[in-house]
Structure 1
Amino acid sequence: MALKVESRSSDSPYIERVWRSRSDEVSRMTSVATAHWDLVFWEHRGQVNVAVQGPESRASPAPVPQDATFFGIIFSLGMSMPHIPISRLVDGSAEIPDATRRSFWLKGSAWHLPDYDNAEAFVRRMVREDVLVRDPIVDAVLRGASPDVSERTVQRRFVAATGLTRGAVRQIGRARRAAVLIQEGVPPHDVIHRLGYFDQSHLARSLTRYIGRTAMQLIDGDPSQPLSLLYKT
């Protein structure tokens, strides 16, 4: 029983990560919290599907179609498709209809289905045709800069572009880093000090909410209900 996931980084400023996977006798998984949204393509029993998967504010169980293949593009924070507001997709998704093995429709135009190796070219076209835009204020905030606008404007623009508050993005990112470190064998008490948690219970609450696992469960692993993609940033 396995959910085989492969992923890679990207040199594109618009892409956080590209991934693909295949399900093999796995019916459920734990979808961990993520501040990023992605465009997902999958084929199951000869049917091709496309959907925009929004950010996830907490971990939750998710069904997995058996013997399906998946491919996804995870977008950098601050990237959005204005015609599908990300703020409306938090903890949800939007299906893009009429997909075939060759193409699908996006904002009134036909698009060839991308794949794991040509995701960057596909995203460059999205940017050229203004299907995908980036908010420079989010970029500035993430770099630690202070945009020349009011704090209220920063908050509003950040939520509009990411679907989440800055605090939620920080907490999700820290929990994901903690989970990766624990899976790599770093003792939980070291993770607490390294990532700035107050104590063991603070780490436990964070992992339970955002990862859906305790530290011990992360150490032991549970192949019957795998986690969605976790990776080093």
Structure 2
Amino acid sequence: MYTERVSRLTGAVVWTKRPTGTAVQPVLPDGCMDLLWSEGRLLVAGPDTRPYAPEGPDRSWAGVRFFPGTAPALLGVPAHELRDLRADLADLWPAARVRRLCGRIAAAPDPARALEDIALERAAEAEAPDPLLRRLVECLGEGRPVSATAAELGVGERRLHRRCLTAFGYGPKTLSRILRLRRALALARAGTPYAETAIRAGYADQPHLAREVRRLAGMPLGELLAGGG
């Protein structure tokens, strides 16, 4: 069973997942990175460009999902180095520090809250999130073109692309596609007909929506929604 709540860290979400005995659903691209805890390990989920299928048996997880573009500054690693990866935090931070954090979470009555506390502490040490990146996410999330958004932000498209690689793991056009998929899924889950969903989410037509869902989610829209994706 999956549950989530708004984090005390601005823009983040704290979530937990318990085994259900059913098939494990793939994790879809969402523009975010996560700090994860499971079975005594601290990991980082890098930015996905394709569906991620967890390996092995279903197990318990706790996580903090950071607002798009904010995790690299907290973790101290460019997002593109973790693209489509799940990495041990000990590969990014000193091993002794990670062992102490693992012991702290393991001893906590609520691992998810302990994980959130660690994220809050790290955020207090790091520089404040770049407001340009937040505005970029807002604009692209509204369906605005990349070129128009770059012009509004006063950033050249090449420079914006470089900043996006560091913050999101990929360029602004890929980020735009992923955020558009999230809009479409929200509409379709709410019962909006697929043809209307396509137009309202910013696709040319329903076949365009179907192709993008297959590319980014790995399955047809109807199958994805039936599985709870």
Q: How far apart, CA to CA, are the structure 2 residues paired with 1:82 and 1:11?
A: 18
Is 1:20 the equivalent of 2:16? yes
Deviation, structure 1 residue 105: 2.8
| Map of 2:2 onto structure 1 | 5
Query: Equivalents in 1 of 2:89, 2:52: separation in Å?
Result: 23
Equivalence for 1:75: 66
- Picking from 107, 121, 134, the partner of 1:139 is 134
Cα distance between partner residues in 2 of 1:20 and 1:169: 25
TM-score, scaled to structure 2: 0.77
The alignment's TM-score, normalised by the length of structure 1, stands at 0.75
The whole-number CA distance in structure 1 between the counterparts of 2:117 and 2:42 is: 18
SS at 1:50 equivalent: strand
Structure 1 runs not aligned, ≥5 long: 99-103, 228-233
Asked if the contact 2:188–2:194 (Cα under 8 Å) also holds between the matched residues in 1, the reply is yes
2:86 is the alignment partner of 1:90: no
Query: Contact (CA 8 Å) 1:32, 1:212: kept in 2 or not?
Result: no
Give the partner amino acid of 2:7. S
Residue 115 of structure 2 is aligned to residue 125 of structure 1? no
Q: Does the CA-based 8 Å contact 1:158-1:165 persist in structure 2?
A: yes
In structure 2, relative to structure 1, the CA distance for the partners of 1:75 and 1:22 (3 Å cut) is: same
Amino acid at match of 1:50: L
1:196: Cα distance to partner? 1.9
Q: Distance in 2 between matches of 1:139 and 1:180?
A: 21
SS of aligned partner of 1:116: helix
2:55 to 43, 52, 63: 63
Q: Deviations over 1:45-72 (max 9, x none)?
A: xxx1110000111224332523x21100
Provide closer, same or farther for how the CA distance between residues 150 and 173 of structure 1 changes in structure 2, counting only shifts above 3 A.
Answer: closer
Q: CA deviation at 1:157?
A: 1.4
**SS of residue matched to 1:31:** coil
Task: Give, in whole Å, the separation in 2 of the partners of 1:94 and 1:83.
Answer: 14
Residues 23 and 64, structure 1, Cα contact 8 Å, conserved in 2:
no
Conservation of the 8 A alpha-carbon contact between 1:27 and 1:64: no
Identity over aligned residues, as a percent? 25
Deviations 1:9-35 (A, max 9, x none): 23532x432110012324543221221
The partner residue of 1:33 within 29, 33, 49 is: 29
Cα distance in 2 for residues equivalent to 1:64 and 1:70: 13
- Deviation digits for residues 100-128 of structure 1, max 9, x if unmatched? xxxx834xx83332733455543221022
Whether the aligned pair in 1 keeps the contact of 2:36 and 2:44 (CA below 8 Å) is: yes
**Higher strand proportion:** 1
Instruction: Quote the residue 2:192 is aligned against.
Output: 186
Task: Kindly report the root-mean-square deviation, in angstroms, between the aligned alpha carbons of the 2 structures.
Answer: 2.9
Which residue does the alignment assign to 1:171?
177
How many pairs are equivalent?
A: 207
The answer to which structure has the higher helix fraction is 2
Structure 2 stretches of 5 or more lacking a match? 140-148
1:212 alignment partner in structure 2: 218
Inter-partner Cα distance in structure 2 for 1:25 and 1:82: 33
Please give the alpha-carbon distance, in whole angstroms, between the structure 1 residues aligned to 2:119 and 2:195: 41
